[in-house]
Chain A
């Protein structure tokens, strides 16, 4: 059985790779390369998997909420992902890298009995990225 909880946060970013020239960055990232950045209302879905315990629950929602609030929302909501979020300071804050950083943050502080099955994040309604819960992060 899986349980999915949805969270929202708002953040700004600019996509600009230090290994590419200004022209290459503009061609590659388009408007996302605009120098002063721009923002999104991100929607994060966290899916956990496991068995239902005696209390009828797969996971304590408040423990899951607290973990996500502490590891993700407090660090990313109303922040500039390029500047304010150390986990992303060495990578281009694409939603792919954001999903990976969120998975790593959750996994490294995970103490819940159910396992992390999936992290899904949408940048807009049209761009959605999904990662399985396990896996090692690549920088």
Chain B
């Protein structure tokens, strides 16, 4: 059975590669390359898979999932400038794709220590753009 928990955080970012010129960055990333950054209200949906426990009737303790999301994602990223304050985005361009990869990397070891498996990370940059990542096997 799949279980999905949602979390929100707000952060700023710039999408630009320092080895490219400003014009090249603008051609690739458009206004996302504006040098001083801009922000989004990111919405994260994390899906885990497991069997409901016969005693509790639950796939996973939602409070534990909530605290993993908080510790690994919300606390370090909420109200931060991703490029300057959240590794590895000082050297990895914080596109929505790379954000999904990084969130997977942070969550996967924590969740694999429990009774469930991480199945999907969905991150909305806006309500009209989201990325799904199902791990290296599905990439």
Contact = CB atoms under 8 A, between A and B. Distances in A.
Determine if chain A interacts with chain B. yes
A1 B131 contact: yes
Given A1-B100, A3-B97, A62-B30, A56 B131 contact: no
B101 A52 contact: yes
A38 interface: no
A4 B132 contact: yes
Nearest to B101: A52
A112 to B, nearest CB: 14
A6 B97 contact: no
Interface in B2-41: 15, 17, 28-30
A3 B130 contact: yes
B56 interface: no
A106 B100 CA distance: 26
B132 A5 contact: no
Contacts, number: 54
Interface in A45-104: 51-52, 55-58, 60-62
Nearest to A8: B128
A56 B100 CA distance: 11
A55 B93 contact: yes
A6 B129 contact: yes
Contacts of A1: 97, 100-101, 131-134, 138-139
A55 B139 contact: no
B29, B95, B97, B101 — most chain A CB neighbours (10 Å)? B97
Given A57-B97, A62-B30, A3 B92 contact: no
Contacts of B134: 1
Interface in A1-32: 1-7
Interface in B76-122: 92-98, 100-101
24 contacts: A1-B97, A1-B131, A1-B134, A2-B132, A2-B133, A3-B97, A3-B131, A4-B131, A4-B132, A6-B128, A51-B139, A52-B98, A52-B101, A55-B29, A56-B92, A56-B95, A56-B97, A56-B98, A57-B28, A57-B95, A57-B97, A58-B97, A61-B30, A62-B30
Nearest first, the 8 A-B pairs at minimum CB distance are A56-B93, A56-B95, A6-B128, A2-B132, A52-B97, A56-B98, A1-B133, A3-B131
Interface of A: 1-7, 51-52, 55-58, 60-62
